[in-house]
Structure 1
Amino acid sequence: MDDYLVVNKAKWDERAPIHAGSVEYGFERFCRDPGHLSNVVRFDLPRLGDVTGLRGVHLQCHIGTDTLSLSRLGAKMTGLDLSPESLVHARRLAEGAGADLDFVEANVYDAVDALGAESFDLVYTGIGALCWLPDVARWARVVSGLLRPGGRLFIREGHPVLWALDERADGLVLRYPYFEHPEPLVFDEPETYVENDAVFEHGLSHTWNHGVGEIITAVLGAGLRLTQFVEHDSVHWNALPGQMEMNSAGEWCLRDQPGRLPATYTLQAVKA
C-alpha cells in the first residue's frame, strides 16, 4: 500500500468513532427520523433530481450519512471507503435506520475491481473527497469504469480556491497550491472537525489540490459529457473561522462580501 494510503487510513480509522458519535453527523436523528437527510445531500436536491430505482455508489463514503440519504431518496446504494473503522459505523448507522445498504472496503482507485465494471447508474462523491487523491485523471477513469452507458456522475466538492486558502490567516490569503501537485501537502493536526474532547494519536495526513480546469478536463478525458457545473459561495461547515456566518440555507459563507469566494461546486456528467 502506498505511504499516503497508510497515513490517511490511520487518521480516518481513529476519527471514525468520534465522528459517528458527534452531533454534527447526527446518527440519532437519522435513526429517529426516517425522512432526515444529510446537509450535503439536502443542499443539492434541486440539482440531484429523481434517483428512484438507480443503482448508485458513493465513493469515499466515510461513515455513510450521505449514502443513507441517497438511499432514502430511492436509490439502491453501495458505499466504498478505505477505512474499515469508518465502515463499521456506516453499517451500524444503516442497521439503526433500517436501511438496505452495502459497504465495501477498498481504495477508490481499486473500485472497479472491487465492485465490477459498468455496474452503476450513479456515481456520487461528497465534500472533502478529491483532496485525498493524488491523481484526479485516474479518479475520473475509475468513475467512467464504474458507470453504465448513460450513467451519471454527481459530485459536490470543496472548491480548489477554498482548499488553497490559509484558514488561520486574517483575511483571504492563498497559501497552498491551487493546481495538482506531484508531492502531497503534509499536515500534522491532532484534532478533527467535529466538537470532541478526544486526544488523537494519528494526526498526519497527505492531501492534494486539483484545479477546476484539471477536474473538468479529467472528466471529459474519461469519456464523460459535462452536463452541469455550478459554483456556490457556501459550504456546510465553518471553513474560515472568524470570517464566515451561517446563511438562510444553513450553510456557511463569508460574512463580508460572500461573492468573493467560490467555496464549493456541484458537477454533473454523463457517460456516453
Structure 2
Amino acid sequence: MVREDEALSTNLANWESRVPVHVAAYGIDRFVEDPAHVSDVVRQDATALGDLTGLRVAHLQCHIGTDSVSLARLGAEVVGLDFSPSAIEAARDLSERARTPARFVEADVYEAVEVLGSGFDLVYTTVGIVGWLPSMTRWARVVAALLATGGRLYLRDGHGHPTLMTIDETRTDQQLVMTHPYFGGADPVRWEDDSSYTGEAGALTSPVTYEWHHPLSEIVQAVLDAGLVLTRLHEGDGLDWAFAPWMERGDDGRYRFPGEQRRAVPTEFTLEATRPR
C-alpha cells in the first residue's frame, strides 16, 4: 500500500522527467512554423467539439500545451492546467513561440476551481487522463464546478479504455488475455518503465508511476452524481499509441488490433456531458 500523496509525488517526478523527452518528440517546431497547425489529438476531436470561437475552455492535465494551443487556434479562450512545473513552463514557451495566446496554471487538478474560477463553456481533457486520478468522484465534482450552466465536459481517453487496461500486452502469442483486474480500488498499481509512450527507451530518470484503475461504470456514475447530464458515450477501436507490439498503424496514424481482434475489445472511449441550465 502507498499513501495517495506519496503516489502523486512519485507520478509528478515521472512526468517531470517526461517533459524534455516530449518537447523533443511532439513536433513543437510545426506549431512555430505553421500558424494553422494543430495537434493530431485536437484534429481528431475537432468535429465533435464544434465551433469554439469565443468559448472559455479549461484544459485539464494539459501537459506541455500542444493541445491547449491547438484549441486556441480553433478560436477558444484557453487556460491549461497541469501539476508539472516543467510542463507548464514548456507550455508557456510554446504559446509564446507559436504566437498563440493561451494561459497556463500550475496546480493539482483537484484544485482547479480554486485557481481557475468557474463559468467555463467547455472543460476539455483527453488522452491518458483517467488512470492518474485517485478519485473519479472528486474529479467530476471539480468539473461540474468549473462549468457554467449549459457548459459541457469533453473527455476522450485515447490512452486506453478500462477494458483494454486488463489485457496482457507482453504476450508473445498475440492473444487477448485479461491478466489485470477490471474493477479497481483505493490502492493504485505500481509500474516501472524507463520509456515514455513516445518510444524512447531509457529516457526517463524517474521510471516509477502509480495508476488507479476505474471501470467505465464508475466514470459514468461519477459524472452523473456530480449533476451533469450525459449526452454522448462512444467506444472506439483506435489508439494514439501502440498498446501492444502487434497492433497495426493505419493510414490515419492510429493503432488498432489486427483482424477480428479489432472487434473484441474497445481501446478508447469518449464521454460528453453538460451542466443543466
- Using the size of structure 1 for normalisation, the TM-score is 0.94
- 1:164 matched to 2:198? The reply is no
**Larger deviation: 36-45 or 100-109?**
36-45
- 1:7 matched to 2:13? The reply is no
1:144-223 paired onto structure 2 within 5 Å: 144-157=144-157, 158-169=160-171, 170-196=174-200, 199-223=203-227
Q: CA deviation at 1:211?
A: 1.0
Gaps of at least 5 residues in structure 2 are none
1:42-61 paired onto structure 2 within 5 Å: 42-61=43-62
Q: Distance in 2 between matches of 1:106 and 1:48?
A: 25
Pairwise CA RMSD: 1.4
SS in 1 for 2:175: coil
**2:233 aligned residue:** 229
**2:40 aligned residue:** 39
Q: CA deviation at 1:198?
A: 5.2
Q: What one-letter code is carried by the residue in structure 1 that aligns with 2:120?
A: F
- 1:70 matched to 2:71? The reply is yes
- 1:266 matched to 2:270? The reply is yes
Contact 1:164 1:209 in 2 (8 A): no
**Larger deviation: 98-107 or 36-45?**
36-45
Q: Distance in 2 between matches of 1:188 and 1:142?
A: 30
1:33-85 CA distance string (max 9 Å, x none): 12222111111222111111110011001111111111111111010000001
Q: CA deviation at 1:195?
A: 3.8
**1:141 aligned residue:** 141
Contact 1:77 1:102 in 2 (8 A): yes
Q: CA deviation at 1:209?
A: 1.4
SS in 2 for 1:234: coil
**Larger deviation: 178-187 or 138-147?**
178-187
SS in 2 for 1:11: helix
Aligned length: 268
* CA distance 1:193–1:151, shift in 2 (3 Å): same
Q: Percent same amino acid at aligned positions?
A: 45
Q: Distance in 2 between matches of 1:210 and 1:196?
A: 28
Q: Distance in 2 between matches of 1:65 and 1:233?
A: 24
**1:126 aligned residue:** 126
Contact 2:194 2:201 in 1 (8 A): no
- 1:113 matched to 2:114? The reply is yes
